[in-house]
A and B are shown apart, each in its own frame.
Chain A
Amino acid sequence: MSALEEQFVTEARELIRQATDHLIALERDGTPERVDSVFRAFHTLKGSAGVVELPAMSIMLHAAEDLLDSVRHGSLGASAEIVDAALGCLDQVTRWVDDFEAAGALPSRAGEDGRAMAERLRSFLPGRTSEQSVLPAPNLLKEGGRGPLPEWVSRLIAAERDAMTSRMPDGPMVATAVSYEPLAGCFYNGDDPLQLMQQLPDLLAFHIEPREPFVPLAEIDPYACNLRLRAISAANRDEIASIFRLVPDQIQIISIPPEALPAAEKLIAPGDQSLVRKVIEAQCELLRVPGRTDGLTGCVGAAARVAENALRHGRHLHLADTVGRAGALALAQHDAGPLLSALERTLAAFASSLSTMVPDGDGRPSTTVTSERPTDRVLRVSEAKIEALVNLAGELVVARNALSYSTRQVDLGREVARSIQRDRDAIDRLVTELHGTVLQLRMVPVAQLFGSFPRLVRDVARQLHKKVALVTHGETAEVDKTIMDRLFEPMVHLVRNAVDHGVEDPEQRRAAGKSEAATISIAATRSGDRLLVEVTDDGRGIDPAVVRRMASEKLILSPDELTALTDEEVVDLVFAAGFSTASSVSDISGRGIGMDVVRTAIEQIGGRVSLESKVGIGTTVRLDLPTTIAMSRIMVVEAGGQSFGIAMDSVSETVRVTPERVSTFKNNDGFVLRDRIVPIISLAELMKLPVHKRDTAQSRLLVVMETAGRSAAFEIDAIRDRLDVVLKPMQGLLAGARGYAGTTLLGNGQVLLVLDVKEILP
């Protein structure tokens, strides 16, 4: 996927989120500003779809835009049905963006789906017949050949020479002229030719004129378009074609060769330009050295930086950006190719433009050289890169632990030992700090999570004919990305539950003396290293009597056990497996997931769930969560036919010892490692597992551990794997088992017991 396409995916998702937020808010407040915001979000989304050439998406969004335009102009009200349709359109866009990211293209039936959705959207428009919405294929654009420029293009260039010169900061590169003669009836189709022109990126010149001389004012038809609009843009013809793809029969696009463009004034002398060219040529030569593999990364990085800086110095800002992006791509692919071809293209463009760049005689500095855009202070970094960094920092921690161990083993003079100790402490501190900082990179505001709930609440409430307002608090509280990802499903379930089971029908609420519209609030608060999330509704609450009856019907507890429980304890039973208080299973919450799944999911990430409910007042579900996920690096070993995990931070090394190195002291085996006797303990024996008869001549595999100042070696059969896992505390029957730090689920579904080395060492 190209950088442009990646950017599209990111931007599209952000725009979808904005559009969704505004649409939901629109239904609530319906202010003109809100309509404008919705319209703008769709409009921008349509523009981005055009840039990456996804016609199906563009056609559909164009229809949505028309619909919203009618809402904006007041000819249609923002009814729930229209909002539904617009949200449906966004859902389709979301799916397509996912497809596009995964496969680089839309699915084959996208055209059909897009047209169907466009039909649906247009069906709301007043006075529209379906045939009007059949859109021409966007491949009818007239091709502008390389022949002589049409007279109108030359005339426009001549008329706008000064203005164009001042608007081309990087010298003339690509330019495209477009002439647009809207149909006389275009206004009836909802077209706004000026709007289309406004979408042209990097506009250099613009001219508007009547096609036929205007008739006297008394005879004029205000709704018959009699205009011709012409423009020159620094964008390429594809970009322009995509903007006008819905009016292909009314436009003409001409690519203008650089030599036909007016010369740009430059701040710097031509001599400097040739210097810039030489610098780039040198980088090309450097990159062309064949068979280079070692140090390629450094070489590519340096070449990209040098070329980019040289171009910036020469004020070729667009080119500098392009080269910078190509450099990043080359680095990511470990291949100089992308950078090299970008530099070669730059040289070619450079050569053609340089020949036309003759500065004015007086050499006065141009005042219109555009400054670079202020740089965005937020970096977008791919999750994979952060993951890699987190892993590296984790390994560094392990390596530091090993170093600590090794330094203690070395017998050195006091002075040296103290000096090493001091250095080690410094490294310790830095590594700990680095690890902490890197983990901070994974912290994301819960706003990202909360953002999906307004839509959810709206849809569910609408389906159930309930009125619900959603209030969120504390969106800025931060939590580890992994926790947030794993929090999503349980939260969806809780919010659905609140709307479905918690909130009463409007009639019931009225009868109970409450306002018809219920309020659900989602609040996040950070408390130390914990995150508290509360989902509260002001609905009917949970009746302990009902829970008691259900629990006894479903045989969750015996009648005696139930009698012994307090009301609070009874309410907590909704988290018991197989419990559901809803008398009928609706398709909202009753998808076979109960509150027990919520509790399990939350506990898996080291959190706790509690519930508080008052009959007639409402229910609050409280999630108490860790803000960072505690990942442990473990080694999976095999002994006595079973696998065990050993925390890596207690392992100092693994060794194979030959039988002659092993000696027996008082019935215990041991061996000497760096002048210290390390006892050997058979892990299988220790875990009371069958011990295989060992071939006495064979070497033995040992894991040397260092904990609480003692060292010992476990004899094992094999080392299977090294893994980063989330340790779950021992639960249920195993809760009292000693000698285990916890359990973790392996990729194959097997439960792995992780040993608590400190505890099991005899």
Chain B
Amino acid sequence: MTVRRSDTGTVILDGVCAVEDAEPLLQMLQATPAAVVDWTQCRQLHTAVLQVIMASGVAPIGPCGDVWVKQWLAPELPQKEAGG
């Protein structure tokens, strides 16, 4: 699964997160709005998935694994340092 929940409840984005990952991600965030989102493993982020992250206001654990997103988008979004 590209979007999954770890044992500790962290929502993990892994690999190529495609458009259809937006819905499961949204459902997880609706269920636990305070969940930690980890996108360090995400190689490619679809706009729809990013939109869910933006709309939920969560600050993902960075840096984002998608290098383009890391360079151009991360500075615009609230974000936590990895391990922080």
Contact = CB atoms under 8 A, between A and B. Distances in A.
Interface of A: 36, 72-73, 75, 182, 187, 191-195, 197-198, 203, 206-208, 210, 214-215, 217-218, 220, 222-223, 225-227
Contact of A222 (B18, B52, B73): B52
A75 B46 CA distance: 16
Interface string B16-55: 1011101101100110010000000000011110111011
A218 B19 CA distance: 19
B42 to A, nearest CB: 12
A220 B49 CA distance: 12
Contacts of B50: 194, 208
Interface in B45-80: 45-48, 50-52, 54-56, 68-69, 72-73, 76
B51 A227 contact: yes
A214 B54 contact: yes
Determine chain B's interface SS by DSSP, over half rule: helix
A426 B76 CA distance: 70
Contacts of B22: 187, 222-223
Interface residues of B, number: 26
A225 B47 contact: yes
Contacts of B54: 208, 210, 214, 227
Contact of A210 (B55, B72, B73): B55
B72 A193 contact: no
8 contacts: A194-B50, A195-B47, A208-B54, A217-B30, A217-B56, A222-B25, A223-B19, A226-B55
B16 A72 contact: yes
Nearest to A214: B55
Q: Which of B18, B51, B56 has the most CB of A within 10 A?
A: B51
A222 B26 contact: yes
Contacts of A187: 19, 22, 47-48
Determine chain A's interface SS by DSSP, over half rule: mixed
A159 to B, nearest CB: 10
A218 B56 CA distance: 10
B26 A194 contact: no
Contacts of A36: 16
Contacts, number: 70
B23 A223 contact: yes
A222 B51 contact: yes
Contacts of A225: 47-48, 51
Contacts of A207: 76
Q: Which of B22, B48, B56 has the most CB of A within 10 A?
A: B48
A203 B47 contact: no
Nearest to A222: B22
Contact of B55 (A191, A206, A217, A223): A217
A73 B47 contact: no
B9 to A, nearest CB: 17
B58 to A, nearest CB: 10
A30 to B, nearest CB: 16
Q: Which of B16, B47, B50 has the most CB of A within 10 A?
A: B47
A193 B72 CA distance: 14
A523 to B, nearest CB: 38
Nearest to A218: B30
Nearest to A35: B16
A-B pairs, top 3 by smallest CB distance, nearest first, are: A222-B22, A214-B55, A206-B72
Nearest to A182: B47
A194 B45 contact: yes
A220 B52 contact: yes
A223 to B, nearest CB: 6
B32 to A, nearest CB: 11
A226 B46 CA distance: 14
Contacts of B48: 187, 222-223, 225
A191 B56 CA distance: 22
B54 to A, nearest CB: 7
Contacts of B51: 222, 225-227
Nearest to B25: A222
B70 to A, nearest CB: 12
Contact of B20 (A73, A193, A197, A214): A73
Given A194-B68, A195-B47, A220-B26, 5 more contacts: A195-B46, A210-B55, A217-B33, A223-B22, A227-B47
A208 B23 contact: no
Contacts of B25: 222
A218 B27 CA distance: 9
A210 B33 CA distance: 20
B76 A194 contact: no
B53 to A, nearest CB: 11
B55 A220 contact: yes
Given A222-B52, A225-B48, A227-B51, A206 B26 contact: no
A68 to B, nearest CB: 13
Contacts of B19: 73, 187, 192, 223
A431 to B, nearest CB: 54
A180 to B, nearest CB: 11
A706 B17 CA distance: 78
Contacts of A223: 19, 22-23, 48
A72 B46 CA distance: 13
A86 B43 CA distance: 25
A39 to B, nearest CB: 10
A488 B73 CA distance: 50
B76 A198 contact: no
Contacts of A227: 47, 51, 54
B49 to A, nearest CB: 8
Given A206-B72, A218-B30, A225-B48, A73 B55 contact: no
A208 B55 contact: no
Contacts of A75: 20
Contact of A192 (B20, B26, B46, B52): B46
Nearest to B20: A73
A182 B19 CA distance: 15
A354 to B, nearest CB: 30
A208 B46 contact: no
A198 B68 CA distance: 7
A193 B45 CA distance: 11
Nearest to B24: A222
Contacts of B73: 206, 208
Nearest to B67: A198
A222 B23 CA distance: 6
